Amino acid sequence: MASGVGQMLLPLFAYFLRDWRLLIMPMAASGLLYIPLWWLIPESPRWLLSQGRVEEAEAILRNAARMNKVTVPQVIFTPDEIEEAQANKEKKYNILDILRRCNAVVLILVCSILWIVITMSYYALLLNTTNLHGDPYFNFFLSAVVELPAYVGAMLLLKFCPRRICQSSTLFLGGAVILLTQLVPGDLPGVAIFLEMVGKFGITTAFCVVYAVTSELFPTVVRNMAMGTCSMAARIGTIISPFIIYLGNYYKYLPYLFIGGLAVFSGMLCFVLPETFGKVLPDNITEMQTVRGLGKPKGTLMESKGTVMESCTKETCDVIKEAKL
């Protein structure tokens, strides 16, 4: 939500600071606001437990339960959970642990493609606002306003809908509407702007959803590496986006065909991913779900033997669920 508000303020600063060098100064200075987050955002209890830092994990869970007005059991982690956590602490994971497994490689490739297409589409549509009919400052502001309902829509989808439906529906919406833009007559610029904003709404919602989808697919021990790999792949989409807009010099609607076609393709690609909605997140690589078509899954986390979460008490699971951690 704050990202949309920041984008809404950007055309205001740009209107009064016409020199791009002056405009970069407040944009760069806003990064200082991230520094206090080091002390304000708590660490992940799952990660702390996997590192054997049980007391810190318990303190964060108790604080989260207190904020959510949930009764905390006297014993949050059982001896079996602590013993399993200590065993996992001895194992050091790296990117090779992902590359050694065909299932994990396919997952990381599919997620990377999704990130590239979504990021490329998002920034291409953002850059294209200055090419739309009317005032470029107002068009950019309108593009930023569209992001606010997109964030709300993403939260509702993630709360109530399966992950594959969340990701594919938003990509289908954004891609289909962008493809329809080329059919709008030239004497109806308002309709074209409306369709592009609806497409931006769909792509922005997909951008929000892909973070949750990717993080739920990978276990705690390699989740940071998987997210970092996908984020690195997304930068490819960012680099490509200006060149997509440049294609409009050859044919006006070529960028829309390119963005819309790739978005629809990515929406279909989502259906090869395993479903994670309503399931406990995996802690180890062996607990990862299998890509559809690569064979029968090894079993969900709650079905795995000898895992940390299998031995968790009902009270502990309820605390984690209510605390939304």
d(CA 105, CA 234): 17
Find tokens 């960012």 and name the residue. 238
d(CA 286, CA 123): 36
pLDDT mean across residues, the chain:
83
pLDDT at 64 over 80: yes
Cβ partners under 8 Å of residue 210, min gap 6: 111, 114, 115, 118, 167
Please report the pLDDT score of residue 89 as a whole number.
66
pLDDT at 186 over 70: yes
**In Å, how far from its chain's centre is CA 133?**
31
Of residues 70 and 125, the one with the higher pLDDT is: 125
Mean pLDDT of 87-97: 73
The pair of three-digit structure tokens given for residue 29, joined into one six-digit string: 């200075």
Please report the pLDDT score of residue 88 as a whole number.
65
**In Å, how far from its chain's centre is CA 303?**
27
Of residues 113 and 42, the one with the higher pLDDT is: 113
Of residues 99 and 237, the one with the higher pLDDT is: 237
Render pLDDT for 35-50 as a digit per residue (tens, 0 to 9). Answer: 988 888 888 887 788 7
Mean pLDDT of 146-161: 92
d(CA 71, CA 321): 12
The pair of three-digit structure tokens given for residue 254, joined into one six-digit string: 């070529």
Model confidence at 307, pLDDT cuts 50, 70, 90, reads very low
Please report the pLDDT score of residue 278 as a whole number.
86
Domains of the chain: 1-41 (no CATH), 45-92+305-323 (no CATH), 96-272 (1.20.1250.20)
Mean pLDDT of 187-213: 91
d(CA 42, CA 204): 27
Please report the pLDDT score of residue 271 as a whole number.
92
pLDDT at 298 over 60: no
Model confidence at 230, pLDDT cuts 50, 70, 90, reads very high
Q: Print burial letters for 296-307: b (CB count within 10 Å at least 16), e (below 16).
A: eeeeebeebeeb
Neighbours of 209 (CB within 10 A): 28
Question: CB of 45 within 8 A of CB of 325?
Answer: yes
Burial of 90 (0-12, 13-18, 19+ CB in 10 A): exposed
DSSP 8-state class, residue 9: H
Render pLDDT for 117-129 as a digit per residue (tens, 0 to 9). Answer: 999 999 999 988 8
Please report the pLDDT score of residue 310 as a whole number.
38
Task: List the single range of 135-149, 226-240, 288-302 with lowest mean pLDDT.
Answer: 288-302
Residue 114 exposure: Cα atoms within 13 Å on the Cβ side: 32
Mean pLDDT of 263-286: 88
DSSP 8-state class, residue 265: H
d(CA 210, CA 202): 12
Mean pLDDT of 243-262: 91
| CA-wise closest residue to 52 among 78, 84, 74 | 84
d(CA 13, CA 308): 51
The pair of three-digit structure tokens given for residue 308, joined into one six-digit string: 């940390």
Mean pLDDT of 130-138: 85
Please report the pLDDT score of residue 222 as a whole number.
86
DSSP 8-state class, residue 68: T
The pair of three-digit structure tokens given for residue 97, joined into one six-digit string: 């642990």
pLDDT at 154 over 80: yes
pLDDT at 277 over 50: yes
pLDDT at 316 over 90: no
Find tokens 């050091």 and name the residue. 92
Question: CB of 281 within 8 A of CB of 219?
Answer: yes
| Cα angle, residue 305 at apex, residues 312 and 45 outer, rounded to 5° | 40
Mean pLDDT of 71-97: 75
The pair of three-digit structure tokens given for residue 22, joined into one six-digit string: 């002056």
pLDDT at 305 over 50: no
